[in-house]
Chain A
């Protein structure tokens, strides 16, 4: 099950909002500082849906991942099982 950890700061909030619109994603709190986006299938993120510029996009997984990034590019990326 791919997982993405997101630090609770404004610049990464778009990841959470994007995940809320994905039917198979769940979001849970991990302590007070992080949330975890997880799904039973691959999670695809689209930069314009996340609403960030390239600099933040390329660092958007800094909270940590459980899984493997495929098709990582400037506009889209998919997180799959490891």
Chain B
């Protein structure tokens, strides 16, 4: 707000703009430098991890070339190794996990924000956060010792009735024979995926809940005023509003599912062939491979593991950045009172 006065007397010096920024004191100089240094240290450490992985991996990648992507065996000493099997295994587990976690987390997020009585809400939010804080090894224990025994019957049922869908086929299963071997269904990508879905679900749920809770109250009440039922309001207002959050949250969960190690390691029995039959015993993932093989790896073997790890990291990185782009571009946070 500038005020204009009458023309100043001619003999006054022409006004010059005031210096607005005060010179930083010693304390501030030190403060700025220290925080900048910390930022750079963090940047350095984080960049070092990525760079080191790439440099170490390059040795293995150079010696195999593109066959790294197409080979499914893992014999670094014979220079015959690739991530075709482990990467597809990782993706299979992650897809099962997200496929189960997506409806669960979306339902829970909608229930917490739109359906549950307000008094219950903070308790439910705490429970979801608690689910995220439970260590993954405990989910692994639960999956291995408890859930596997419960779910085998369902695996068998699906494979009996739906084996005409290729991914549900199980070799070695004899439908109809009640005495057929149960072990063909254990340690499968499906079971690992279900357990990982429990770890992924709270991450997805908290992001979706955040977005759904920002649904503009005016639009919600507008929908009700036009006679919408609660589900009608959710379908017409909440879901379109939260689309970015749903996609972003799902992909963040996918990133976590791709990298999960210990629960998968406990449950799955490793195998090195491309296996899309998710109900069948055995599977593999990149992180399981690293956890199993790092000990006996020689220098070159370690480089090969690094290359596999780098491929996984590249995948999770792409997934994560896509996710944050979706979350940032969604309408959530933007006010819509118009």
A-B complex is real: no
